[in-house]
Chain A
């Protein structure tokens, strides 16, 4: 399996949609073949359409708030000693996370398809919140599928979605979490695809959804490349980009422009779950078997019967049994290294970063990435630059973190 230079990562799949001939694909019911072909044709045309690009950039800049800051974490660097730690503060994007990029692009595509109805899945609620936000702006009827358990524990986000006029559908099947929400959303689209467009909330699902999402989040590294050049005048000789990986959409976007730079190390951090527990959400780190989930071949946490196993993570946004085919491909080619951080390590990282930096208060997802940075930084020289993607803000996790730390709020 080989990574090609000079070709965007999202285009390095074969004619059947498999990266490395193995990961991804369109393992879908025949009823979804036509809408997926239609969407693929449309997207390939739009990504080369200057007016579409200009429209995307307009909304990214004026509505999402691009570029997000690129800052040095002076205090954390000093505290840890060793490598210099920087942060791409993607949490400053409107809505508090990177999910707005994919939501805006899908809404624009929906309109270009002549459709007025959009549906999507959500776990923690970010993807659903941003999609309903974009749908309201672009006058689209919106339906969000969310596991019944998540509806319960993320009630503030549910309220937001409903305020934006979206219909939130609690999914009662299976584990009643993200995995079931995605399944239900795909079932809905099977019935409604003549009228409606579907947005998959991460770089998962059939190939075209992986591509659209990664193409959207690529905004993160596009703007960061310029910021890095402004800061250092060149690409640093030894730079490490650390990102959390659940479905993998923020990491794909954070790394996109850097794939061809051999001196830039890519480190993905999965959710290791509670310390001492056998449950986790880290299929890459723990060598989970290859299987088919939501239309694509990938490493997936499953039992010997091919049934998806329950995952566990303090971070709702990383709590997914599968992982993007892009990351399976990057792992297999050796381009990226994947590891995991436990719930406890993520909490500690959250505390250390918040306490030292104030303006940066990562949600539980990027706290996993910070945990890895904290682990390796002291062992590295000051010539090494570590950049962490702080892709979400901690506000949404206040209750979970406070409870964990014994505060009452």
Chain B
């Protein structure tokens, strides 16, 4: 629930000779109870870190699958407080780390200080904010640090080396590498080798920082990233939630099964 416990999740995976597995699902999708069931099911399947989306309707980075999830949650009246309550409830029984991924307007509307207070009380250990780039985010990042919450800076293929070094210099213990220029959930349009090359460059500049790789990773490609620090699968899970709801199946069970499969692929 603090930056140090978050780091331990990465280290535990490393001890098992694999990258840490992160899942992304939208908090409150499709409702509070099911969302909590999904988190529990994902945790039981062995995920290392849960990335919980605090969805925003006017987002500019989400692909179709995540937009559907966000729309479902918002249409069902899910509010920011509901997301914190889901996480709080989940953390009562599970050690699995939870980080929040959101957009700046959601934090502004809640109030920066209030948002951080609620992160602490619900045991959120990290924050990713898609549309709050470096260096505009530095004041907020500092507040996070003072509260032992990791503010996770984003990097991408077109972040040039000077900017990369500056961001890494200011970054907390964890960074996130957006593997390709796209919204979430599109087909991987660069090779796994190219991604790993950029990953190596990041690690060369900052060997101590944990680097999460995200965007476009699926069950078919996850094994390629076994030797990195961590990777995220998101849209495939959101799609599974949509499919399960449409077919009146249990999304928690089905998403859990997918995560077991991903974990196995990463561990083999």
Which residues of chain B are within 8 angstroms of A179 by Cβ–Cβ distance?
A: 58
Bound Cα distance from A186 to B182, whole angstroms = 10
Chain B interface size range? 35 or more
Q: A27-B136, A28-B60, A186-B60 are in contact. Are A191 and B181 (CB under 8 A)?
A: yes
Which residues of chain B are within 8 angstroms of A304 by Cβ–Cβ distance?
A: 109
Q: Does A12 contact B (CB under 8 A)?
A: no
Please report the total number of A residues contacting B with Cβ < 8 Å.
35
* CB atoms of A187 and B183 under 8 A apart: yes
Q: A26-B133, A28-B60 are in contact. Are A34 and B160 (CB under 8 A)?
A: yes
* CB atoms of A190 and B109 under 8 A apart: no
* CB atoms of B103 and A187 under 8 A apart: no
Which residues of chain B are within 8 angstroms of A174 by Cβ–Cβ distance?
A: 57-58, 71
Which residues of chain B are within 8 angstroms of A307 by Cβ–Cβ distance?
A: 56-58, 74
Bound Cα distance from A291 to B79, whole angstroms = 17
From residue A233, how far is it (CB to closest CB) to chain B in Å?
A: 49
Mark out the residues of chain B between 162 and 188 whose CB falls within 8 Å of any chain A CB in the assembled complex.
163, 178, 181-183, 186
* CB atoms of A30 and B133 under 8 A apart: yes
Mark out the residues of chain B between 47 and 76 whose CB falls within 8 Å of any chain A CB in the assembled complex.
56-63, 67, 71, 74
Q: Does A16 contact B (CB under 8 A)?
A: yes
Q: A174-B58, A186-B60, A190-B60 are in contact. Are A28 and B109 (CB under 8 A)?
A: no
Bound Cα distance from A193 to B57, whole angstroms = 23
Mark out the residues of chain A between 22 and 64 whose CB falls within 8 Å of any chain B CB in the assembled complex.
25-31, 33-35
From residue A225, how far is it (CB to closest CB) to chain B in Å?
A: 37
From residue A51, how far is it (CB to closest CB) to chain B in Å?
A: 29
Which residues of chain B are within 8 angstroms of A173 by Cβ–Cβ distance?
A: 67, 71
Q: Does B108 contact A (CB under 8 A)?
A: yes
Bound Cα distance from A291 to B110, whole angstroms = 11
Q: A187-B62, A190-B60, A292-B108 are in contact. Are A30 and B154 (CB under 8 A)?
A: yes
From residue A35, how far is it (CB to closest CB) to chain B in Å?
A: 8
From residue B124, how far is it (CB to closest CB) to chain A in Å?
A: 17
* CB atoms of B60 and A187 under 8 A apart: yes
Give which listed residue, B71, B105, B182, contacts A291 with CB less than 8 A: B105
Give which listed residue, A193, A194, A294, A308, contacts B60 with CB less than 8 A: A294
Which of B79, B133, B163, B186 has the most chain A CB atoms inside 10 A of its CB? B133
Give which listed residue, A29, A186, A290, A306, contacts B133 with CB less than 8 A: A29
Which residues of chain B are within 8 angstroms of A306 by Cβ–Cβ distance?
A: 56, 80, 103, 105-110
* CB atoms of B130 and A291 under 8 A apart: no
Which residues of chain B are within 8 angstroms of A302 by Cβ–Cβ distance?
A: 105, 109
* CB atoms of A292 and B71 under 8 A apart: no
Give which listed residue, B67, B135, B159, contacts A34 with CB less than 8 A: B159
Bound Cα distance from A186 to B181, whole angstroms = 12
Q: Does B199 contact A (CB under 8 A)?
A: no
Bound Cα distance from A180 to B62, whole angstroms = 12
In the complex formed, the residue of A with least CB distance to B153 is: A30
* CB atoms of B104 and A31 under 8 A apart: no
Q: Which B residues are closer than 8 A to A by beta carbons? A: 56-63, 67, 71, 74, 79-80, 103-110, 130-136, 154-156, 158-160, 163, 178, 181-183, 186
Q: Which A residues are closer than 8 A to B by beta carbons? A: 16, 25-31, 33-35, 173-174, 179-180, 183, 186-187, 190-191, 193-194, 289-295, 302, 304-308
